[in-house]
Every structure is written in structure tokens, then in C-alpha cells.
């Protein structure tokens, strides 16, 4: 009787987890779009990808830009922290790796930070990246 109960409960739990996973998978958009303000600032070259894996303000800072960049960087940091834990790395290590990849993923016209620290405009040529980047 006890065995039957446990089986029923665990079956119920399994089904619940399966349903939750299915709904969660559907609810989370796999490729969410950038916020329009962020997309605009990015293509205008007002913000760029830094080497450390975070977004930076390229030219003159405005409170609006600062808010936008802070908001994205806080979200990035949370993602980095989660993945760093999962991959047994430090936050800085994971963020730096993501920076390598994010700079590589920039489109022509977007800004990125070169190893010298200067802001560069991405062309069709490969970006100038840290020598440690894969």
C-alpha cells in the first residue's frame, strides 16, 4: 500500500515536472529580440562590446545611456554568474570568454573594445581581440 502510494506520488511528480518543463520551454522565447532603445544605441555606435564581457558607453555619457547599459550589464552579470557556477569557472573567467564571443559576434558598424582599450568600429574583417580569445 505504501509502495503504491509512493509510486503514484512519484508518477504525479514526474508528470508535473514534465509539464512544467514543456511550458517553461515554450514560455521562454529562445531568441528574444533586443530592446529597441538598446538596438538603436548599438547600431548608432553609442554603446559597444567591452573586452570584459560587458557593455560600455563609447562617446559622451547621458543618464539615459547609462541606465540602459547598467540594466543590460546587471542582466549579463546574472547570466555569467549562473553559467560560471555551472561550468566550474569564476565570474571573471566566464565574462571574459563571453566578451571574446560577443566581440566576435558584432556586426559591421558596431563598436567594440580592442586589446589596447580603444574603441574600434567593426568592419567585415575579424575584430582585434585579446590574444587569449579562441
Partner 1 sequence: MSAMTNGKLTDRARAATSLAMQGDCKARRFARMAVVALVPLGLAGCITVNAPEEPIVIELNVNIRQEVIYRLAEDAGNTIEENADIF
> Interface residues with partner 1 (CB under 8 A)?
30-35, 72, 75-76, 79-80, 83, 86-87, 89, 93-94, 96-98, 100-102, 105, 132-134
- Closest distance to partner 1 from the beta carbon of 58 (Å): 17
Nearer to partner 1 by C-beta: 67 or 75?
A: 75
- Closest distance to partner 1 from the beta carbon of 53 (Å): 8
Sign of dihedral through CA atoms 9, 12, 16, 17? positive
Among candidates 113, 122, 130, 95, which has minimal Cα distance to 56?
A: 113
Q: What letter does residue 60 receive in the DSSP assignment?
A: S
- Closest distance to partner 1 from the beta carbon of 61 (Å): 20
Nearer to partner 1 by C-beta: 25 or 117?
A: 25
User: Residue 65 in contact with residue 47, Cβ under 8 Å?
Assistant: yes
- Closest distance to partner 1 from the beta carbon of 31 (Å): 5
User: Residue 115 in contact with residue 100, Cβ under 8 Å?
Assistant: no
109: left (phi over 0), alpha (psi -120 to 50) or beta: left
Nearer to partner 1 by C-beta: 83 or 121?
A: 83
Nearer to partner 1 by C-beta: 63 or 134?
A: 134
Beta partners for residue 119, in sequence order = 113
Amino acid at each position: 500500500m505504501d509502495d503504491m502510494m509512493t509510486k503514484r506520488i512519484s508518477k504525479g511528480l514526474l508528470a508535473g515536472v514534465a509539464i512544467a518543463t514543456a511550458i517553461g520551454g515554450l514560455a521562454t522565447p529562445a531568441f528574444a529580440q533586443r530592446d529597441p532603445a538598446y538596438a538603436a544605441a548599438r547600431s548608432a555606435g553609442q554603446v559597444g562590446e567591452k573586452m570584459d564581457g560587458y557593455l560600455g558607453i563609447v562617446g559622451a555619457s547621458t543618464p539615459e545611456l547609462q541606465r540602459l547599459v547598467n540594466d543590460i550589464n546587471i542582466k549579463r552579470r546574472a547570466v555569467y554568474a549562473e553559467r560560471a557556477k555551472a561550468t566550474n569557472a569564476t565570474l571573471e573567467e566566464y565574462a571574459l570568454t563571453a566578451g571574446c564571443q560577443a566581440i566576435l559576434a558584432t556586426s559591421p558598424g558596431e563598436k567594440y573594445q580592442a586589446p589596447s582599450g580603444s574603441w574600434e568600429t567593426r568592419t567585415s574583417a575579424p575584430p582585434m581581440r585579446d590574444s587569449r580569445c579562441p
